[in-house]
């Protein structure tokens, strides 16, 4: 590989000849070979940083025109747009496990913008720190970028995915409005429930969880930008934060605003922990839904078998004809990953020491991973499983007719103890509840049939 020599405040550094980054990026690339190529800084963070650099250049040209001329501003804006187009992704090789403030990735973006901008200008005019990073610090820029990335990914990917799943479940409710089946609690027979009612619990839970997530997103609209190094705003002109927020809104559509307390904004990640907690809450319900669906589909002959799932692929390398609930399994594995991420996010958020949190990159990585995995698994689960669910009406009716818990309808007239005696007799002797009632001389067949009507129990 051919190299060129670059200089930074620490001296000279050999950088790959064709790379658009500089010495500061190369130092990090060499010093932090931890997960390189596998745990790189998410592209969503890079794009969010580019948005901030673009907004800052526009505002700096207005507030500090002697420093950021129109020529410099235009070059920075065009370079940032190049990053946002995705054409320069290979220029951001740094890993998540670097400096805990994300400084090296901020420097990486600064260098790329400066070099691309200088290429546009045809001369070396832009400096990565003096110009691209003007009025900023990694300490306020990086956490702001994390908020922007989370907001963008949640709005673009996650919310549409969960809404699609909710709608699919609601369509299934409409498809099976009249089926009455045996309910189950503690994995044991319980009183009847409509299949549509069971499904409505799934869709309602996810709708409620979505409300939680949308509420927590509002907290992330508050960004640290303008606090610079320790929250005082040193080296940033007055109104820089407000004007940058407006520019970011123009670029992204996000109604971001400066944090009310930038000292807090630099070290506290409670808002992100709050958000990820809402993701985890949805994951707990999603896990339960996936488990219930595979439980109800178990069989096809030796399990519950109340529903059938699409046969998407062979389920065994040794057992011919076996089909497994693979989409459900994928969902549960994703949820397990999210639960683990929540532990990391919670601990990392607690590490706000003095004026700064130095676990920012891993927080960003895990939260964005949770958003991506949940989004993709819900899309897959909806399209490859939920929409193809079919009800086995005969099996549901058979279980319902044989359920001992239908006796609950009698307890209000004959009392709990007498009803329990009927259930135990039916279970012990392997007869129906009706036959047990007649045998114990509690009521006649006609009286039983009038008293025990599953349709009146749902």
Block residue for tokens 């067949």: 445
Q: 257 is written with which tokens? A: 């605003």
Question: Among the options 298, 316, 350, 398, which is catalytic?
Answer: 316
Element containing residue 14 per DSSP (H, E): strand 11-16
Angle at 118 between CA 112 and CA 122, to 5 degrees: 150
Longest pairwise C-alpha distance within the chain: 102
Residue 449 CB coordination number (10 Å): 11
* Residue 98 DSSP SS3: coil
Tell me the C-alpha distance between 353 and 348, whole Å.
11
SS in 3 state form for 177-237?
A: CCCEEEEEECCEEEEEEEHHHHHHHHHHHHHHHHHHHHHHHHHCCEECCCCCCCCCCCCCC
Residue 77 CB coordination number (10 Å): 20
Question: Among the options 186, 196, 200, 403, which is catalytic?
Answer: 186
Give 354: exposed, middle or buried? Use CB within 10 Å, 0-12, 13-18, 19+: exposed
Give the length of the chain: 458
| Helix residue spans in 220-308 (DSSP H) | 240-252, 262-267, 270-296
* 186 in active site: yes
Evaluate whether 78 touches 117 at the Cβ level (below 8 Å): yes
Block residue for tokens 């908020």: 147
Is beta strand 352-353 parallel, antiparallel or unpaired with respect to 11-16?
unpaired
Give 209: exposed, middle or buried? Use CB within 10 Å, 0-12, 13-18, 19+: buried
* 316 in active site: yes
Residues with a known catalytic role: 186, 316
């Amino acid at each position: 590989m051919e190299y060129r020599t670059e200089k930074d405040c620490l001296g000279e550094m050999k950088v790959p000849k064709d790379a658009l980054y500089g010495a500061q990026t190369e130092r990090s690339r060499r010093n932090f070979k931890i997960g390189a190529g596998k745990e790189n800084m998410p592209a969503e963070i890079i794009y969010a940083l580019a948005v901030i650099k673009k907004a800052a250049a526009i505002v700096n040209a207005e507030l500090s025109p002697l420093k950021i001329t129109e020529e410099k501003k235009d070059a920075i804006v065009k370079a940032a747009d190049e990053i946002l187009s995705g054409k320069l992704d290979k220029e951001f090789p740094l890993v998540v496990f670097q400096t805990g403030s994300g400084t090296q990735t901020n420097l990486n973006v600064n260098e790329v913008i400066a070099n691309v901008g200088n290429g546009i200008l045809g001369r070396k005019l832009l400096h990565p720190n003096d110009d691209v990073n003007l009025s900023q610090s990694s300490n306020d820029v990086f956490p702001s970028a994390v908020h922007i990335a989370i907001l963008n990914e949640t709005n673009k990917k996650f919310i549409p995915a969960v809404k699609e799943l909710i709608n699919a479940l609601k369509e299934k409710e409409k498809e099976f409005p009249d089926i009455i089946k045996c309910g189950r609690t503690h994995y044991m027979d319980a009183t009847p429930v409509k299949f549509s009612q069971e499904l409505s619990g799934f869709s309602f839970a996810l709708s409620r969880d979505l409300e939680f997530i949308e509420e927590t997103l509002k907290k992330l609209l508050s960004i640290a930008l303008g606090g610079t190094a320790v929250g005082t705003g040193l080296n940033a002109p007055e109104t820089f934060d407000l004007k940058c927020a407006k520019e970011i809104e123009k670029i992204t559509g996000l109604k971001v605003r400066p944090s009310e307390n930038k000292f807090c904004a630099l070290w506290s990640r409670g808002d992100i922990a709050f958000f990820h907690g809402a993701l985890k809450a949805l994951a707990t319900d999603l896990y339960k839904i996936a488990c219930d669906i595979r439980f109800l589909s178990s069989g096809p002959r030796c399990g519950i078998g109340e529903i059938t799932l699409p046969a998407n692929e062979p389920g065994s390398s040794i057992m011919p004809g076996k089909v497994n609930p693979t989409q459900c399994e994928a969902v549960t594995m994703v949820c397990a990953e999210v639960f683990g991420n929540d532990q990391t996010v919670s601990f990392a958020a607690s590490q706000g020491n003095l004026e700064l949190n130095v676990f920012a990159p891993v927080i960003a990585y895990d939260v964005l991973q949770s958003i991506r995995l949940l989004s993709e698994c819900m899309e897959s689960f909806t399209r490859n499983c939920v929409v193809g669910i079919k009800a086995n009406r005969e099996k549901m009716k058979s279980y319902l007719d044989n359920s001992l818990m239908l006796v609950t309808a009698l307890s209000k007239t004959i009392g709990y103890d007498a009803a329990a005696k009927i259930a135990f007799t039916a279970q012990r002797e392997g007869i129906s509840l009706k036959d047990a009632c007649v045998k114990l001389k509690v009521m006649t067949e006609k009286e039983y049939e009038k008293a025990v009507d599953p349709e009146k129990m749902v």
